[in-house]
């Protein structure tokens, strides 16, 4: 079967899977709908979605209870559409409010990324996505080992979530997967090889688990290590359409960027300079955006909600090169990378952008070595 026809066949099977009836419990990983994806495992799990929804609503409840002097809540705002309030029964409303109150009192002040408690909880709920309970009352293998009060809150809220919010959330998750999967099929291997080559490391042997949830953190996506897992919000406006692929690979890059962090720290210590805060993170944003420019350039001419699969590599019949040379960079200006589009460099990274363009870009183009690029960046700061 020709490569393009093979991809269309996979895409058709995935679309048919999207239209299948929703199960009452957790959905299996979506790879199983049409064969395994390269590089990633994409999941829409019931418990991980319930957890993030309760956390999201608890944070909203907390912020509404303590606005600043101007009457506005402080901090960034999630870029998600407003949801219609479900018509709960009295009993359902109490069960849901109790669960949100538990999260507000015990978890809402903790960070999803930096709290070891919440990272462990996320991983546990991901691992038990195929169970319809968490305490092992009817199935011993479904005992997730959670604190009793937390397990009770989740199990009490589960029927309410399953009846009112989960169908729409799961559908949004599967639509997100439907849109990004064809690009992962066509570009995933080449992109993973190129990024690993840039960071002078190896892409993980095992596929990276990606939990797609209606809500994530304020950034709309986050990555935890040991094990390396990504969580992405399907409702977040920053994660839609062709841009979803950049978000996916940016988050995954957190798991392979240690050589960059180490090199920056080492160079700073040799020069007796302070380690620049977040330079490594700005570098990951910049690198992912520049690597994906040629892959996503044609998608800007595509209506929102539709992916144009005629990427430069697919029309030429080749995948992105794993070398650092980027021959199509000048023709890919139509796609605006995430960090530029969302104004991240305007929030204290302006100097980093200049440094990255002057010293890191030549490395990406194959005109400098990794060591020289790091040394010049650190020296210029």
Quote the CA–CA distance of 20 and 356 in Å, as a whole number: 46
Q: What's the chain's length in residues? A: 381
Q: For CA atoms 318, 320, 324, 325, give the dihedral sign.
A: positive
Q: Where are the alpha helices (DSSP H) in 19-84?
A: 46-65
| pTM score above 0.85 | no
Question: Between vectors from CA 171 to CA 117 and to CA 337, what angle results, nearest 5°?
Answer: 70
Q: Is the pLDDT assigned to residue 41 strictly greater than 50?
A: yes
Judge whether 169 and 53 are in contact, CB under 8 Å.
Answer: yes
Question: Which residue in 299, 308, 285 sits closest to 356, CA to CA?
Answer: 285
Q: What angle is formed at CA 353 by the lines to CA 351 and CA 354, rounded to 5 degrees? A: 65
Give 74-91 pLDDT, tens digit per residue.
Answer: 444 556 666 677 889 999
- DSSP state, residue 135: B
User: Given a cut of 70, is residue 55 above it in pLDDT?
Assistant: yes
Residue 346: burial class (beta carbons within 10 Å; 0-12, 13-18, 19+): exposed
CA-to-CA distance for 197 and 175, rounded, in angstroms? 31
pLDDT value for 2: 52
Please name the residue ranges forming H helices in 3-115: 3-18, 46-65, 90-106
Contact present, 276 and 381 (Cβ < 8 Å): yes
> What is the predicted pLDDT for the residue at 70?
47
Task: Say which residues have a Cβ less than 8 Å from residue 235's Cβ, sequence separation at least 6.
Answer: 80, 81, 169, 172, 214, 215
**Residue 11: is its pLDDT beyond 90?**
no
Which of residues 315 and 278 earns the better pLDDT score?
278
Residue 15 clears pLDDT 50, i.e. is over it:
no
pLDDT band at residue 256 under the 50/70/90 scheme: very high
Q: Are 335 and 291 in contact (CB under 8 A)?
A: no
Which strands make up the sheet holding 40-43, listed edge to edge?
40-43, 208-213, 229-233, 221-224
Q: Using CA atoms, how far apart are residues 55 and 60, in angstroms rounded to an integer?
A: 9
Output the average pLDDT for the chain: 83
pLDDT tens, residue by residue, 145-194: 999 999 999 999 999 999 999 999 999 999 999 999 998 998 999 999 99
How many Cα neighbours within 13 Å face the side chain of 184? 29
The secondary element (H helix, E strand) that includes residue 140 is none
pLDDT of residue 214: 97
Report the distance separating Cα 357 and Cα 328, nearest Å: 17
How distant, in Å, are the alpha carbons of 170, 187, 338, 354 from that of 144? 22, 36, 37, 48
Residues 6+ apart with CB under 8 A from 371: 263
Convert the pLDDT of each residue in 307-362 to its tens digit.
Answer: 333 333 333 333 444 444 443 333 445 889 999 999 999 988 989 999 999 999 99
> How are beta strands 208-213 and 221-224 bridged, if at all?
unpaired
pLDDT score at 354? 95
């Amino acid at each position: 079967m020709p490569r393009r026809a093979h991809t269309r066949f996979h895409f058709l099977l995935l679309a048919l899977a999207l239209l299948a009836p929703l199960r009452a419990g957790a959905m299996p990983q979506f790879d199983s709908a049409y064969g395994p994806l390269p590089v990633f495992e994409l999941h829409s799990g019931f418990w991980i979605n319930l957890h993030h929804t309760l956390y999201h609503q608890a944070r909203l409840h907390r912020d509404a209870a303590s606005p600043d002097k101007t009457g506005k809540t402080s901090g960034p705002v999630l870029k998600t559409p407003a949801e219609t309030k479900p018509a709960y029964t009295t009993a359902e409303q109490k069960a849901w409010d109790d669960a949100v109150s538990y999260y507000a009192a015990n978890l809402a002040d903790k960070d999803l990324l930096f709290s070891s408690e919440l990272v462990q909880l996320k991983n546990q709920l991901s691992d038990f996505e195929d169970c319809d309970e968490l305490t092992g009352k009817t199935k011993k293998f479904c005992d997730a080992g959670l604190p009793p009060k937390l397990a009770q809150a989740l199990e009490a809220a589960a029927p309410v979530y399953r009846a009112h919010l989960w169908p729409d959330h799961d559908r949004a998750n599967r639509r997100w997967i439907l849109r990004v999967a064809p690009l992962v099929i066509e570009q995933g291997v080449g992109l993973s090889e190129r990024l690993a080559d840039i960071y002078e490391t190896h892409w993980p042997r095992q596929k990276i688990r990606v939990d797609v949830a209606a809500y994530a953190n304020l950034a709309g996506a986050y990555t935890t290590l040991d094990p390396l897992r990504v969580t992405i919000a399907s409702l977040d406006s920053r994660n839609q359409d062709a841009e979803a692929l950049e978000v996916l690979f940016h988050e995954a890059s957190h798991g392979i960027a240690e050589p960059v962090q180490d090199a920056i720290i080492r160079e700073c210590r040799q020069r007796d300079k302070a380690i620049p805060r977040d330079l490594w993170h700005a570098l990951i944003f910049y690198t992912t955006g520049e690597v994906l420019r040629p892959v996503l350039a044609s998608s800007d001419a595509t209506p929102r909600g539709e992916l144009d699969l005629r990427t430069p590599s697919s029309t030429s019949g080749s995948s992105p090169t794993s070398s650092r040379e980027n021959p199509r960079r000048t023709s890919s200006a139509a796609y605006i990378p995430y960090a530029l589009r969302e104004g991240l460099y305007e929030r204290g990274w302006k100097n980093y952008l200049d440094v990255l363009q002057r010293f890191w870009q030549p490395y990406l183009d194959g005109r400098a070595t990794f060591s020289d690029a790091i040394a010049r960046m650190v020296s210029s700061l």
